[in-house]
Amino acid sequence: MDRVEQKNDEFTKADPWRVFRIMSEFVDGFELMAGVRQPRVAIWGSARAKDGSDDYELARHLARRLAEEGYAVVTGGGPGIMEAANRGAAEAGGDSVGLNIILPFEQIPNTYANHRMDFRYFFCRRVMFVKESSGVVVLPGGIGTLDEFFEVLTLKQTGKIKGLPIILLGSGYWKGLLDWLREAALGRGMISPEDLRLFKVADEAEEVVAMIKRGEGS
């Protein structure tokens, strides 16, 4: 058996044990989220946003306002927008949840979450973000943020989740994407006009809070 075959054989033998690890991660995640009694709002955005930047302060203010309105804030638990949102919720005395992902370059969890868990698997973590959530707010971000946005949008489009407001915050940042969706994707018949109504766009934290309270975009 050559080295490649041996490696593949080891991987195949490890798969059944990997299933148990996945099950354990789901169980631990469900238990963690069951301890969060308030309605929950997920906030996504770039890990690269700097403390004091406009995006950072917007996420911090939004999370503070949501906590003041009785919502728990759920983030990816890392730096940047995630830290800002956990920080804002904690400053308001609310539940601040950080669902950190273990990466090869080690995303360091922020210190503001008062409910924390480390995940190996993105898909387990994603379930915790949207399960029983009252809304998803997407701030400026990169590939990971876009992945999160389009996955939850697909779940909503296909009817796998219902009644979940999805809000893009920061129209200036998202303009290029929205133009592409309208002109290219819709223009060539790749999506339907109704698909563009699956989410809302806002520029102010107060707009977002009002939308979530009204269930807009659900």
- pLDDT at position 14: 73
| Span between the terminal Cα atoms of the chain, in Å | 55
CATH number for the region 3-214 comes to 3.40.50.450
What's the mean pLDDT when you consider all of the chain?
92
Measured in degrees and rounded to the nearest 5, phi and psi for residue 166 equal -120, 120
Residue pointed to by tokens 């029983």: 132
Read off the pLDDT of residues 118-144 as tens digits, 9 standing for 90 and up.
999 999 999 999 988 999 999 999 999
Q: Span 134-161, mean pLDDT? A: 97
- pLDDT at position 104: 81
Give the DSSP per-residue string, 70-90: T-EEEE-SSSTHHHHHHHHHH
- pLDDT at position 8: 55
- pLDDT at position 4: 44
Question: pTM (2 decimals)?
Answer: 0.90
Query: How many whole angstroms separate alpha carbon 110 and alpha carbon 79?
Result: 6
